[in-house]
A and B are shown apart, each in its own frame.
Chain A
Amino acid sequence: NAGVTQTPKFQVLKTGQSMTLQCAQDMNHNSMYWYRQDPGMGLRLIYYSASEGTTDKGEVPNGYNVSRLNKREFSLRLESAAPSQTSVYFCASSAHRTGPGQPQHFGDGTRLSIL
């Protein structure tokens, strides 16, 4: 019963480097989400995928790309990392077969520092 698994848990990058954050869920959920959490800012939605094969921008998509690889996996890519992208990144998933309003299940986060 792993739920939502994020890798890596920690990462340090230099400005301009690229990397991909991985997320996988084993709950057969349709929807998946990427958030960033910054002190005093709450969680802000970067991108989401309502179902396999679709992705949409959230509140703060600039500087990021996503791929919904299959129903289980949803990755977040930083093409050219910037110090402003230093944050804690959370992946989440939810079911919506029974309609909206379903709770989201979160991974433990990836702590990313960009120097």
Chain B
Amino acid sequence: AQSVTQLDSQVPVFEEAPVELRCNYSSSVSVYLFWYVQYPNQGLQLLLKYLSGSTLVESINGFEAEFNKSQTSFHLRKPSVHISDTAEYFCAVSGAGSYQLTFGKGTKLSVIP
């Protein structure tokens, strides 16, 4: 079984400042890792994913995450946030060979003008 811990429930940050949203996981098998974003009153949208290969993965809107196997982490970063990045972000893990996802409890990112 897998579990996911998102270390911060809320993260306020000023516009154009950098941000890091932390995610740690535990698993006895190799994993696939995902970040999803949820805007108010909407469903979740895939932001980026790590399946294999390069440990640094990027999204089209400037977010990146790095898979760190030794630290069992998959932190999400953006060098300069925009007001439009205000949303809730969920880290999720899937064990190799599984089609199910286990989600963290979410981190609410608030970008302050």
Contact = CB atoms under 8 A, between A and B. Distances in A.
Interface in B61-113: 90, 94, 96-101, 103-106
A58 B32 CA distance: 19
Contacts of B96: 100-101
Given A50-B99, A103-B49, A107-B43, A42 B94 contact: no
A100 B90 contact: no
Contacts of A4: 43
A42 B104 contact: yes
B44 A43 contact: yes
A79 interface: no
Interface in B3-39: 9, 32, 34
B45 A96 contact: no
Given A100-B94, A101-B51, A103-B49, A43 B42 contact: no
Contacts, number: 57
A45 B96 CA distance: 18
Contacts of A108: 41-43
Contacts of B105: 40-42
Contacts of B42: 108-109
A61 to B, nearest CB: 13
Contact of B44 (A45, A100, A106): A106
B9 A40 contact: yes
A41 B90 CA distance: 11
23 contacts: A4-B43, A31-B99, A33-B100, A41-B105, A42-B90, A42-B103, A43-B44, A48-B99, A48-B100, A58-B100, A90-B43, A90-B44, A100-B32, A101-B32, A101-B96, A102-B99, A103-B34, A104-B44, A104-B46, A106-B44, A108-B41, A109-B41, A109-B43
Interface of B: 9, 32, 34, 41-46, 49, 51, 90, 94, 96-101, 103-106
